[in-house]
Amino acid sequence: MQLTLWTYEGPPHVGAMRVATAMEDVHYVLHAPQGDTYADLLFTMIERLKKRPPVTYTTFQARDLGSDTAELFKTAARQAYERFQPKAMMVGASCTAELIQDDPGGLAKALALPIPVVALELPSYQRKENWGASETFYQMMRALAGPHVPAPGTSKPARAAGQAPSCNLLGPTALGFRHRDDVREIVGLVEALGIEVRVVAPLGATAEDLSRLGEADFNVVLYPETASQAAGWLQRMFGQRHTKAIPIGAQATREFVAEVLDLAGLPADTPLPDSASRSTWYSRSVDSTYLTGKRVFVFGDATHAIAAARVAQQEFGFTVVGLGTYSREFARDVREAAKQYGIEALITDDYLEVEAKVAELQPELVLGTQMERHIAKRLSIPCAVISAPVHVQDFPARYSPQMGFEGANVLFDTWVHPLMMGLEEHLLTMFRGDFEFHDGAAASHLGRSAAPAMAAANQDASAPEAATAARTDNVIAIANWAPEAQKELQKIPFFVRGKSRRNTGRLAGKRGVLTITVETLYDAKAHFGR
């Protein structure tokens, strides 16, 4: 078990809480000590819920370990049913309670409650939050939809003439990154195509809703981390096919629409709703040339990281220099995506490794989680959040989906505007002699806290011992920057300064130059400008 200041994922029981909190008429009884009740804060503070999560803790203490903790659990489960009257219940143990080896499933069965009780076995020291959410949704669905599985050899009745095709939307949970807005956007898009949305699960679903998942014609998988296992089971048991395309970005949304029409048996030329993305105008504007080829580093859960990399390179004209995920279960998918950009994927749940990679690549934009936002601030790099884990500011009051055509507009605003702000900051450097504008002041879009970091970076960079590593074939050359060369480098606009530094280092390495002077800097400009 790795101890760290930050974690990308919590233990699997937090994933189970994300499913329980997302659903209606469901209660989760968690065998856990007092210290594990912190999870309530995740939902009440970050997601701004109006009520406590539907979770009951046994909250045993150290002195209880010498007595009957099993009886504590049975009492908590019985009282939770009597008080909340849920239509279904989940029972399980936290990572700490797992060590005392009580059996919540067996204990709950002995109570003989008159509702479905789903026992969750979540290996806390082997798996993490997203897996816990996926396993919980899968087990809940099997328990509630399982009794309605048709007998072997039974074919599903054909849809009645004139009846609209139908689908389920699978995957959104509580604490999901913009999940509520994504659901609203995709429901509107699918219904505009003439397709009925039967159930959205687990977000907003009831136990009864899960029991009738098999009635739909097909399933839409919005977040594979949570829904891929459940969708596979529904396909095997009910013959429901499911979507593969994730509608993040204008191009991917069009592919998603085409796939949905195919699964629904509707004509491929069914007209799209009048909601085309407004982000495409930018590619036809002269301002787009300022951002073409901008180096971007992408990190997050697999779904959002893969989609963000595609949008960044194919729709915005950026250059993806780094791509990674903390979702080890989807490492293969991320590695395959990274091959498209000629890079090696970064698969890690250690934020320090991510920080080292960002520092090495020197991107001009970071797309990541709240961890990468902190990393980018320290390195004075613009950043946009694209994936959980996130903080309260990433649950905006406004409508802000990531999916669909409106989601494409949100991506454009969130990703491009920080870079355009950078152009404005460059214009302000013309007034660097003014008392408000000087090298020690941070770019306004990076926040005040970035000023000391930028000043320190500039000071370090101007030191005679500052060096640039340039890789040429199989040789790495280290070149020191002369103070006058560093001073000249600072005159170059910040949004191309990194590229100038890298190119100068490359040329110095090829020529065996050990000290970069002003002449070397301008030689590199002439060399790479041809």
Domains, in order of start, for the chain: 12-146 (3.40.50.1980), 148-153+163-264 (3.40.50.1980), 279-426 (3.40.50.1980), 463-528 (1.10.8.550)
Contact 312, 412 (CB under 8 A): no
pLDDT tens digits, residue range 431-451?
455 544 455 555 555 555 555
153, 198, 375, 404 from 260: Cα distances, Å: 27, 15, 39, 13
Report the pLDDT value the prediction gives residue 393, as an integer from 0 to 100. 81
Q: How many helices (H) and strands (E) does the chain have?
A: 18, 16
Residue 12 corresponds to which tokens in the numbers above? 């699997």
Instruction: Copy the structure tokens of residue 330.
Output: 């989807």
Neighbours of 231 (CB within 10 A): 25
**What is the per-residue pLDDT for 423?**
52
Residues 6+ apart with CB under 8 A from 530: none
Give percent of the chain above pLDDT 90. Answer: 51
From first to last of its 530 residues, the chain has per-residue pLDDT tens of 455 567 899 889 999 999 999 999 999 999 887 766 676 777 777 777 777 889 998 877 656 565 677 888 898 999 999 999 999 999 998 877 677 777 888 888 889 999 999 999 888 788 999 999 999 999 999 999 999 999 887 877 777 777 899 999 999 999 999 999 999 999 999 999 999 999 999 999 999 999 999 999 999 999 999 999 999 999 999 999 999 999 999 999 999 999 999 999 999 888 876 555 666 666 666 566 667 889 999 999 999 999 999 999 998 889 999 999 999 999 999 999 999 999 999 999 999 999 999 999 999 999 999 999 999 999 989 899 999 998 888 888 889 999 999 999 899 888 887 776 555 555 555 545 554 445 555 555 555 555 555 555 444 444 434 555 544 443 444 568 898 888 888 877 666 777 788 889 888 888 888 899 988 988 888 888 76
The answer to whether residues 407 and 185 touch, using CB atoms and an 8 Å cutoff, is yes
The one-character DSSP state at 448 is T
What's the pLDDT at 461?
A: 42
Q: Are 404 and 272 in contact (CB under 8 A)?
A: no
Show the tokens assigned to 245.
């395309």
353, containing H or E segment: helix 351-361
Q: Is the dihedral of CA 350, 355, 358, 360 positive or negative?
A: negative
Q: Which residues belong to the active site? A: 287
Tokens of 264: 């629904």
| Residue 12: HSE in the Cβ half-sphere, 13 Å Cα cutoff | 22
Query: How far is 218 from 57, CA to CA, in rounded Å?
Result: 37
pLDDT of residue 126: 87
Helix (H, G, I), strand (E, B) or coil at 47: coil
Spatial CA neighbour of 481 closest among 472, 496, 497, 14: 497
